[in-house]
Amino acid sequence: MAQYRPLNDGQQNFTQATNPQIIAGFQALRMSVDLGMQQSESARKSSMKAQALVSRQSQMLNQMKEQKIMVKDVIVPVDAPTNTKPDILKKAQNKGEEYRNMDEHKVDVMTLANRLGTSKDEGLSDDQAVQKNQQYGDNKLSEKAKTPWWIKLIKEMIQPFSILLWIASFACFALYGVNPDALGAKSNLWLAIILIAIILLTGSITYNQSAKADALMEGFKNFLPQNCIVIRGGQRKQVPAEKIVPGDIVEVKMGDKIPADIRIIQSREMKVDNSALTGECDPLLRVTECTSENPLETKNLAFFGTLCKEGSGLGMVIQIGDKTIMGQIADLATGGETPETPLNIELKRFVILISCIAVGLGVLFLILSLVVEKASVDTAVGLSYWYYCCKFSLAITAKRLADKQVLVKNLEAVETLGSTSCICSDKTGTLTQNKMSVENVWYDGLKRRALNRLIAGKNAEYEYETSDPTFRDLHDCAIITSEAKFNIQAKDKQNINWLDTPTIGDASETALIKFFQPIEDIELTRQRRQFAELPDKSLAKMPFNSTNKFSLCIVNWETHDSYYCVYIKGAPEKLWTFCSYLLVEGRNQPIDEQITQKFKQVNLAFGRGGERVLGFAKLHLPRAEYHKGYQFNLNSVDTLKFKLEGFTFLGLLSLMDPPKVTVPQAIKKCQSAGIKVIMVTGDQPPTAGAIAKQIGIITGKTVDDLLDENPSMSYEDAFRQAPAIVIHGDLIVQALEEEASQGENLPEHLKDRKLRSWCSKPQVVFARTSPAQKLMISGVTGDGVNDSPAIKQGDIGISMGISGSDVTKDAADMILLNDDFASIVDGVEEGRKIFDNLKKTIVYLLTSNITEVFPYVGEIAIGLPLPLSNAFILTICIGTDILPAISFAYEEAEIDIMTRKPRKKDDHLVSLRLITHAYLLQGVIATSAGFFSYFSTMNEYGFPPKLILSFMNTPYQQIPWAPITLANGQPYAPPPTSWVWDMPNMNNPFLTQQPYSPNWQMAPVLVPPSENQIQDTVGFQNIPLNWINPELIYYDLRYIFVTYNSTSNRWFPVFEEWNNQFSDQLCRYFDRSDSLLEGSGYPINTNACFKTAALKYAQTSYFVAVVLVQWSNVFSCKQRKMSLIYSPINNVMFYGVILETIIFLCIVYIPGVNTWFGARPVDILNLGMPGLPYSMCLFCWEEMRKYFIRNLPKDEQIRTKLL
């Protein structure tokens, strides 16, 4: 496999946080081209290595696909392509073949010009440009078809669980449509409307929060400049960038974006910033000669979308639009599917689980309804609100993160970050400030801390003295040799913060001017030392280049023996060879061996500290040789009219990109949370190691440190003893090549052995790493376009909000609005918290859900009058429980949330342990409270529990009683009269066989048939009593459930409890009338005693008991381990409890409202209070369980069971 050298052959940096969508595409193309070229070159020998490596990559992809391995489950996978989509790799291989065959960078310019029908001097004619524009089209990227917003909204409305609810709502509509006048028909209608309202509301909220802006192609469009300068017909013309065509000669200068892929035909120290494409932020020199067979690495091509940072040049357009490198990568980046987040998988599992429960209960009750008349079939709908409460909670958490400068685009990504076990972060811009600053200064032979006066303020103690003559010379040299300047108008200089002022120039020179500006305005410094003029009237300056490694300038500085002074800036070790003196306290001191050794030690120490070092020197040219008006020649080192010797060394300035203030603490939080933080950077290993130590990623000795301290120590011993390691990217490539050389049949346990051993270290840093390798880690952060593929393919992608490109922001699930790594830690905490809170929400909801299911079980299994009506179930689901359930999203994190290990893959959102806790512990207590209230209320109205349980198997007289015909032929409907227990026929006209007369109550009693024929007796039936039939509420059931006593030749109540003249006393509320029974015109008692109207009171009591238990339940679920008294106050939870209390009070006690809901104004002291003991019992049980968790021996298994 090819050794991938850096594109700039020098230091390689990644922009702030390289951006995986483009860079992975670029690297895939680059690897494909290099592999192809290597195979062609080594075909005469052997291509086994390259083939084996490609086969290995394919094999790993298949293995990961088969095993469904996700990125976060592997700390560091083998290589970048293993985490890209197979179709992306396939596309890259196809496109790589095209680039291997291109030769535009290899042929001479004249041949290329003839091929493109142009002239390198005259360019295209206007007619040619128009014709080529018609042939090739505009220079822009093709837009991909966008999904209309309304389709996205519809997709949110037809999620799997939503489909279940749509089916349920349509079924309710159908039931209502078949028989609108049937009992319960209106409840079906209302249920259908409520379900549709829930679907529409939650779908809209989810869409608004998670719908991603279609900015991917817009991000690519931003790479295209609006206008550019071309040479057409020998004349310079400004034309829209969209209208340039292959063959155009384009003029590029500093600050311009490259408008197309161009072949460099003239370069005046032209340097381009390829960070948008490759991740390398150091400007790369462009030349006219071909420097590599690989078109993606050669220096005589510049690519569309990159930026000219220095110099100027001319280029011949070779590709435009979709044919450019950026266009090809855009095609790669927009392909493939985004993998599901772990929480999305959990929610799908949750949906499947509750859907199975809902459908199962629905089918069960449907079957039973065919067997048992009037059994309910719509109970399972109560499960619907679980899922949507989770969605609401996620949306609320996203809002909280937005307040913490984290914008969540994908709701499920909130929890994903909380479950990650490894975060891979780029250094520049994420961990560091992406602002080079002067850290140290060395002059007069002493190292000094270079505090910036704008940051430290006037009262700080400074180690350097601005009035020192050596420092003044160093100051002048640094500013005059720098090209950087502030991008601001002179009139705007008042009261300005220079640290935040935009600048023009490279990062190093920007750091210099921001350090010296508060000491003296840089414009005044430059005015004090004016540049000499060259013969062509240009300024006497020689720019920096990679060959010389220095820049110099000549200024007018008249002294007693000189008219001119040469200032030089560059690599310290290079400048030191030019110097004979060191300036000490303003005087030249000859350089000796001792001074040289001190200089080398300081320079080496700065380098090891991760600092970039610049040296400065000056030389006064003797007046005798260089008179006024001397004509200098600075075209090259060879044309200089003076020797590079005898310089006076002024000092050193070290620069570095300092860590952000919040990062070290954020790293500590991650480590305490069991999250490994891996830094990925393009810097050299010493620099990467130094930065990692500053921010706390590395806290101990690295392997290299031990080897430096003990030269005799072997690498194996150092690796075994060191807790930290800095891995050079080349080592990864070598490990892959070694593995590939052993063939495809390498045993599984030997594959990736080196990578696994490296990553077993607790502290890991990747230095000089290929950008494509960023696809290896669980969380990927980035800001450049080159980060977008990994961001899209990771479990969760995080983009920078300030410095991030539109492409990256579109590909990411989360955006750090403040570009701060500490915000990721906030996200981790919020992610863990939302997983905890979702569990609490589900436990809370499941507890009340079991109280809704068991009443139907009791109705069907043992014939209980339904303890809880559908109206009350809906009230609980979308009324009393909603705000308390959502309030968990506002719950603060538990005290140990950032000291736990990341959750395991098998730690599901809804586990057997959670269901057991909710259903069999808290659910049983809540259900017991409901049934106790139900039975106690029925008992108060004359229905003892034993009697209620006997209703199902006891035959009774059919009611309502039918009209009868009197002896005179007049119809007569006997009303249900007051209870007279000793009447022969129990006030029931059907219990007589004589002709009816007005005095029918005194007629002889009916002698019934034998006992085995009782079912055939007129009016008797043995089906369950319909307790909700409004026509029955007037009838005293003591007249209905009767039996014949042959001894006394009369009828009696069948139940012993009612068979006496004092049975009225069984009802505590015999003197309390019921509003629905008043004004009926019947001579009856208007109370609900012994009537089906009593069920309304019992159902209301059941409902009240559930609400009372939920009071305790919501507070019991606040903390998993800690007592309630130690938990922070959750105002929303208090509001939720108050709201559910208000709801149940309004439903129960407001006239008209209670009638609409089928409720009755129960006596709160005697009927509502039975639920309170159970409520307190649940709270005490939970507090006791938490106490044992906190105080039992540290047995993880026992704790796990209690949790």
644 versus 224: which is more confidently predicted?
644
- The DSSP secondary structure of 1120-1167, one letter per residue, reads SSS-GGGSPP-HHHHHHHHHHHHHHHHHHHSTTHHHHHT-----IIII
DSSP secondary structure letter of residue 917: I
| Residue 685 contacts residue 640 (beta carbons within 8 Å) | no
**Bond prior to 960 in cis (omega within 30° of 0):** yes
pLDDT for position 896: 81
pLDDT at 184 over 70: no
Predicted pLDDT of residue 448: 94
pLDDT digits (tens, 9 = 90+) for 1012-1051: 444 444 456 667 777 877 777 778 888 788 877 767 666 7
Q: What whole-number distance in Å separates Cα of residue 795 and Cα of residue 818?
A: 22
Q: Compute the Cα dihedral for 7, 8, 9, 11 and give only its sign.
A: negative
State both tokens at 743. Answer: 């063939």
Contacts of 799 (CB under 8 A, 6+ apart): 19, 781, 782, 783, 787, 791, 808, 809, 811, 812, 814, 815, 816
In this prediction, residue 789 carries a pLDDT of: 45
**What does the pLDDT read at residue 1146?**
92
Closest-CA residue to 24 (of 333, 349, 317): 333
600 membership: H or E segment, kind and range = helix 593-608
Distance CA 258, CA 279 (A): 17
Weakest-pLDDT range from 326-335, 555-564, 961-970: 961-970
Confidence class for position 328, pLDDT limits 50, 70, 90: confident
pLDDT at 976: 60
pLDDT at position 1102, please?
Answer: 94
- The listed range with the strongest mean pLDDT (141-150, 518-527, 534-543) is 518-527
pLDDT at 438: 92
More confident residue, 492 or 725: 725
Q: What is the reported pLDDT for 370?
A: 57
Higher pLDDT, 25 or 936: 936
Segment among 961-975, 1066-1080, 1136-1150 with least mean pLDDT: 961-975
Distance of alpha carbon 1075 from alpha carbon 1068, whole angstroms: 17
Compute, in degrees rounded to 10, the torsion defined by CA atoms 943, 949, 953, 958: 30
Question: Which of the pair, 928 or 811, is modelled with greater confidence?
Answer: 928
pLDDT tens by residue, 266-316 = 988 788 887 666 655 567 888 898 988 878 788 899 998 888 887 889 999
Highest mean pLDDT among 3-17, 21-35, 230-244: 230-244
Determine which of 585-599, 776-790, 842-856, 1026-1040 has the lowest per-residue pLDDT on average.
776-790
Structure tokens at 348: 């799908």
Q: Give the integer Cα–Cα distance in Å for 621 and 185.
A: 105
pLDDT value at 1011 more than 70: no
Three state DSSP letters for 277-335: HHCECCCEECCCCCCCCCCCCCCCEECCCCEEEEEEEEEEEEECHHHCHHHHHHHHHCC
Task: Give ∠ CA 780-786-791 in degrees, rounded to 5.
Answer: 30
Give 194-234 pLDDT, tens digit per residue: 778 877 877 776 676 555 434 433 444 454 557 889 999 98
Burial call 929-963: b when 16+ CB within 10 Å, e when fewer: bbbbbbbbbbbbbbbeeebbebbbeebbbebebee
Q: What is the distance between the terminal CA atoms of the chain, rounded to a whole angstrom?
A: 52
Q: Which helix (H) or strand (E) holds 486?
A: strand 485-486
Cβ partners under 8 Å of residue 1156, min gap 6: none
Does position 148 have pLDDT exceeding 70, yes or no? yes
Least confident among 337-341, 497-501, 820-824: 337-341
- Give the alpha-carbon dihedral of 1141, 1142, 1147, 1149, to 10 degrees: 100
Q: Predicted confidence band at 985 (pLDDT cuts at 50, 70, 90)? A: low
* Chain centroid, CA 420 distance in Å: 11
**Structure confidence by residue, pLDDT tens digits, 131-140:** 999 999 888 8
Q: What is the mean pLDDT of residues 152-169?
A: 77
When mean pLDDT is compared across 121-125, 178-182, 702-706, the lowest value belongs to: 178-182
Reading the block at residue 454, the tokens are 């704008």
Average pLDDT over residues 314-338: 75
Q: Which domains does the chain have, with CATH numbers?
A: 20-142+218-333 (2.70.150.10), 437-656 (3.40.1110.10), 954-1088 (no CATH)
Q: Residue 464 burial (CB < 10 Å; 0-12/13-18/19+)? A: buried
What is the DSSP annotation of 119-183? -TTTBB-HHHHHHHHHHH--SSPPPPPPPPHHHHHHHHHT-HHHHHHHHHHHHHHHHHHH-TTST
Confidence at residue 614, expressed as pLDDT on a 0 to 100 scale: 93
User: Sign of the CA dihedral 800, 11, 568, 598?
Assistant: positive
At residue 412 the predicted structure's pLDDT band, cuts being 50, 70 and 90, is low
- Angle (CA) 825-829-832 rounded to 5° is 135
- In this structure, of 117-121, 804-808, 904-908, the range with the lowest mean pLDDT score is 804-808
Query: What is the pLDDT confidence band of residue 331, given thresholds at 50, 70 and 90?
Result: low
Q: Helices (H) and strands (E) in the chain — how many of each?
A: 39, 32
Q: How confident is the model at residue 473 (pLDDT cuts 50, 70, 90)?
A: very high
Share above pLDDT 90 across residues of the chain, in percent, rounded to a whole number: 19
913 exposure class (CB count in 10 Å sphere: 0-12, 13-18, 19+): middle
Helix (H) or strand (E) holding 87: helix 86-101
Q: Which pTM was predicted?
A: 0.67
- What mean pLDDT is predicted for residues 342-359? 67
| Predicted pLDDT of residue 103 | 85
426-454 residue pLDDT tens: 777 778 877 788 999 999 999 999 999 88
Catalytic residue among 248, 261, 273, 426: 426
| 140 C-beta neighbours (distance < 10 Å), count | 17
Mean pLDDT of the chain: 75
Any catalytic annotation for residue 9? no
